[in-house]
Every structure is written in C-alpha cells, then in structure tokens.
Amino acid sequence: MLNIALIAHDRKKEEMVNFVTAYEQVFQKHKLYATGTTGTKIMEATGLNVHRFMSGPLGGDQQIGALVAKNEMDLLIFLRDPLMAQPHEPDIIALLRLCDVQGIPCATNIATAEMLVKSLDRGDFAWRELVHKYKPEVSE
C-alpha cells in the first residue's frame, strides 16, 4: 500500500474527480491524501476514503510537503492550472522541489497522471516499498 497525494487547482477539480473515478479500482488499494476541497469532492464522487488536509492556499500544500520531505509520500498528482495565477505559488514550487529532492514521482497534468497510475496498477512502484522498509525510524 502506497501513500498517494491528490491536489487540484479550482479549475482542475472536476478533472481530478473524473480521473480518480475512472481509476477508482487502482486507488482503492492505496492510502489517499488530498487538500481539503479536492479530497471532499473525491470522497463524494467515489467510495474512497481520503485523508484531507487544509485547503491548499491555507497550508494544505505545505502539510503534504511535510510528508514528502520525510519521504513518506510515494506519489503526487497535482493537477495545476497553468493559466491562472495562484496566490500561494511559492508553496507550490516548494512542494514540487521537495518531490525532486526525494525522488517522488509527480504528475502536474492529466497525461502524466494517467501514465503514473497505469504504472502503479502494473506494480512498477514496488521499489517505493523498499524505501519504507529501509527507512530509519525517527522518534518524534
């Protein structure tokens, strides 16, 4: 079971819901996380359980980023709206940078998201299980 984060800008939320609905049988095998409204919309449209963080502009991106920084997130699907300025753009860039630092597969559009989910369904992400297996325990 992998940890998957789902984030979508306002004009991409319907696309995210349709995408998750189409691949519900794949997503149901994993633990899902999302920013507030996106997670709510996904849960309303599917039978999936989604751990919801705050809305992106209110810190949800950063909450997911904290899991990415600790290498506890295995896949990020962030459907961004490239035609709309976002007031929390620095948070978005920081989240994407953290994915690069930790080597977390990340999709920012529906085409790449579909490729990653099909790879997930084939079992191509089994290497992430090794990341969890050999990750040193950190006491908090």
Residues catalogued as catalytic: 61
CA distance 37 to 52: 8
Residue closest to 35 by CA, chosen among 67, 69, 74, 62:
62
CB count, 10 Å around CB of 47?
Answer: 7
CA distance 124 to 120: 6
Place of tokens 């633990």: 31
